Structure 1
Amino acid sequence: MSIAAAFAVPHPPLIVPSVGRGEEKKIQATIDAYRSVAGKISEIMPHTIIFISPHSIMYSDYIHISPGVKAKGDFGSFGASRERYEVEYDTELVKSIEKKADERKIPAGTLGERTRELDHGTMVPLHFITKTCMGFKAIRIGISGLSPAEHYRFGICIKDAVEELDRKVVIVASGDLSHRLKEDGPYGFMKEGPVFDELATKAFAAGDFLRLLDIDEHLCENAGECGLRSFQIMAGALDGMEIEPRLLSYEGPFGVGYAVASFVVKGKDPSRRFVEVYEENAKKELEEKKAGEDEFVKLARLSLETYLKTGKRLKMPQGLPKELTERRAGVFVSLKKHGRLRGCIGTIEGVTGSIAEEIIRNAVSAGVEDPRFDRVTENELDELVYSVDVLGEAEDVESVSELDEKRYGVIVSKGMRRGLLLPNLEGVNSPLQQIDIALQKGGISKGETYRIQRFEVVRHT
């Protein structure tokens, strides 16, 4: 036996009548699809149901599996404390999954539990499933800030553990799509919202899990999705399997996308091993970016690589352009990995003798001194994408109307406190938003009187 089927489902608490109090009738298509999923699970009669929820415990660098023998929870925080659920965990399968993850060097396991109570991302599916199916054991798994490939590979660990123990298992990947579909929705509207939902639902309908790995990280962030990592783990659990995909429903009347999809396993299909294709495509894309780097970016890359490989700072290379060696300016060096920021350190004004020295200094600082991240390791170097921003002179502004978040960066200052934000950043869509973020970075409250300056940059990628 192995994984019999997997299902992608949303988790709006209002779909539970005692929570929705009539509002659930506005998502009847989702309710009908959920009932279809519950019926199918009842037919399968699984030994274990694995719930993957973005609202379980989440760490940036670790996939958490709920420990213990059992857990319970209720919808008390949603005004329906009588709506209660309890599950018994499949502890043997949990241990096997942990072992497989350790063998693949994927950081995952039962450490670091902060709360035992079931989350609504798990309880909403349970609300429907337990009406038709009882007697199963459960496993609850969270998501993390790890890469799409690592979530997929963790899914493969689940599949291998299930097959080794000869379990009949169903995967329930809980997750909403975009939360930014309507102006009057919970998070407003962003144009990326409908785009994300179309990409995800097409991937569900076709069973094309490569699309779930390929969705751009910035698109995901702006769309405000919460389920993609759940779906990527689910995709990995179905690695190498022939499936029958069906998109059962999709709707978003409250400004949040709700999709229900089923993937019934029909047999083996070695051609459906998507992570290898994804990583090969990513490798080619990174190689193309490296080939197109200018002298500024090449110098930043060489500086960090030299420091991590030798422990010594790079000496000034010969033959650099005069623009690098004869000018002084503030410089920010940014590092990204898999589309996500991995480090960013810079100087508002030049503190060394040249832009080249500034790059050499700040590239190392971005890799090993950014307090928001762990130090970059030598193993990560081939996965990093660099950008170098050379700052122009800062000038005072009298009003927000003189700012443009795409063209100008901003500096806010109060005494010795200063906060800076670069221009043209993903997710920053107005000068006021720029100022708010810069104030937070500078530890300056909105109620204080502060100085605002703007500056232009030349961005090298």
Structure 2
Amino acid sequence: MSHPFVFACVTPHGLPILEELSGDEPDLMAKTRQSMKQLGAWMHEAAPETIIVLTPHGLKIEGMFSVSTSSFMAGEMSEQTVAMMVGDERPEKGVIIHFKRSVDRDLANAIVTGAEAQSIPVAAANFATAQGPFSTLPLDWGAMVPLHFMPDVPVVVVTPSRSLSYDDHLAMGRIIAHQVRQSGKRVGLIASCDWSHAHDERGPYGFHENAKALDTQVVELFKTNALEKMTSFSDSFIHHAKPDGIWQTLILAGAIPEASRNNTFLSYEVPTYFGMMCVAYHAS
């Protein structure tokens, strides 16, 4: 059986991917930016009604997946945010990009219901009011960066929990795929993943040799569609390399079975202290 998404992809979420936020180094992430433009073009061609985003930086609820069920999500990205990420304590605001999306509440609630039915820990997340303009959750950079390149359609944002098992993440992916199929909607899927954050001793997480080792293995697993093998990485290997992409990838792996992974590997690079990868999964 083919997967139910009109298009799916794995993207990074480094803010300088957006040329407006790249400051005086517009070419720093040019390779990844070009890949993101290609992913965005394919998503536009696929014409989704809704896009599901799997992000590590959304609303974190310990021991539970969180699923946005608010009416809207909104946030902003700025040069100040970029500076803060590398330890600049007194950055200027600079360029600001404001972002707002409506939420596909029907699909979001269906995913929550499906997870509850299988005893997967999940929280339906809302804020302020039951619905309407005040019912607006924060939209994080892990979602905003890839969505910047995508069609302006309603979203569902899902944030994993690292305290849940890998099997729970694979199961959540299967639940998402089932509910998308049941909805009859044209849905896109984005797994927003940066990889090891310990490539550069000048970076905020320092240097560890595991960073290159883990990313090298991850690239091979994407190229060979063997995503489930990430579950064999040891805790210490992950701790020292500091990736944030494994959990979203396993949700995607559950949602798109190996036999349905018609993929195009676009790029991998490490222009700063963390790895970035772009992979497309086309509809069969």
- Structure 2 length-normalised TM: 0.87
Q: C-alpha distance in 2, partners of 1:222/1:163?
A: 38
- Structure 1 length-normalised TM: 0.54
Tell me which residue corresponds to 1:100: 114
Tell me which residue corresponds to 2:44: 42
Kindly state the Cα deviation for residue 103 of structure 1 after the two structures are TM-superposed. 1.2
Is the 8 Å Cα contact of residues 53 and 158 (structure 2) preserved in structure 1?
A: yes
Tell me which residue corresponds to 1:139: 156
Q: C-alpha distance in 2, partners of 1:212/1:199?
A: 9
Aligned amino acid, residue 144 of structure 2 = M
Following superposition of structure 1 onto structure 2, how do residues 231-310 of structure 1 map, counting pairs within 5 Å? 231-239=249-257, 241-266=259-284
Kindly state the Cα deviation for residue 112 of structure 1 after the two structures are TM-superposed. 7.5
Tell me which residue corresponds to 2:144: 123
Q: C-alpha distance in 2, partners of 1:17/1:206?
A: 31
Following superposition of structure 1 onto structure 2, how do residues 79-98 of structure 1 map, counting pairs within 5 Å? 79-80=93-94, 82-98=96-112
Q: C-alpha distance in 2, partners of 1:125/1:46?
A: 15
User: What per-residue deviation string (whole Å, max 9, x for no partner) do you get for residues 296-349 of structure 1?
Assistant: xxxxxxxxxxxxxxxxxxxxxxxxxxxxxxxxxxxxxxxxxxxxxxxxxxxxxx
Structure 1 unmatched runs, 5+: 267-461
Tell me which residue corresponds to 2:67: 65
- SS, match of residue 195 in structure 2: coil
Q: How many residues align?
A: 262
Is the 8 Å Cα contact of residues 62 and 146 (structure 1) preserved in structure 2?
A: yes
Task: Pick one of 198, 213, 232 that aligns with 1:195.
Answer: 213
- SS, match of residue 3 in structure 1: coil
Tell me which residue corresponds to 2:6: 4
Is the 8 Å Cα contact of residues 200 and 211 (structure 1) preserved in structure 2?
A: no
Pair 23,81 (structure 1): closer, same or farther in 2 beyond 3 Å: closer
Following superposition of structure 1 onto structure 2, how do residues 363-402 of structure 1 map, counting pairs within 5 Å? none
Task: Pick one of 49, 52, 56 that aligns with 1:54.
Answer: 56
User: What per-residue deviation string (whole Å, max 9, x for no partner) do you get for residues 175-231 of structure 1?
Assistant: 110001122233111111011101111111122122233222221111011121111
Q: C-alpha distance in 1, partners of 2:126/2:110?
A: 18
Kindly state the Cα deviation for residue 17 of structure 1 after the two structures are TM-superposed. 2.5
Kindly state the Cα deviation for residue 120 of structure 1 after the two structures are TM-superposed. 0.6
Tell me which residue corresponds to 2:23: 21
Query: Please, which moves more after superposition, 104-113 or 223-232?
Result: 104-113
Alignment of 1:167 with 2:185, yes or no, is yes
User: What per-residue deviation string (whole Å, max 9, x for no partner) do you get for residues 13-65 of structure 1?
Assistant: 12222322132412211011001100000110011100111000123310001
Q: C-alpha distance in 2, partners of 1:257/1:264?
A: 23
Question: What is the aligned-residue RMSD (CA, Å)?
Answer: 1.9
Tell me which residue corresponds to 2:86: none
Is the 8 Å Cα contact of residues 169 and 247 (structure 2) preserved in structure 1?
A: yes
Query: Please, which moves more after superposition, 177-186 or 32-41?
Result: 177-186
Pair 80,42 (structure 1): closer, same or farther in 2 beyond 3 Å: farther
Q: C-alpha distance in 1, partners of 2:266/2:215?
A: 14
Q: C-alpha distance in 2, partners of 1:246/1:219?
A: 27
Aligned amino acid, residue 117 of structure 1 = P
- SS, match of residue 263 in structure 1: strand
Is the 8 Å Cα contact of residues 199 and 211 (structure 1) preserved in structure 2?
A: no
What's the % identity of the aligned pairs? 24
Is the 8 Å Cα contact of residues 2 and 167 (structure 1) preserved in structure 2?
A: no
Kindly state the Cα deviation for residue 81 of structure 1 after the two structures are TM-superposed. 5.9
Q: C-alpha distance in 2, partners of 1:211/1:108?
A: 25
Q: C-alpha distance in 2, partners of 1:84/1:159?
A: 30
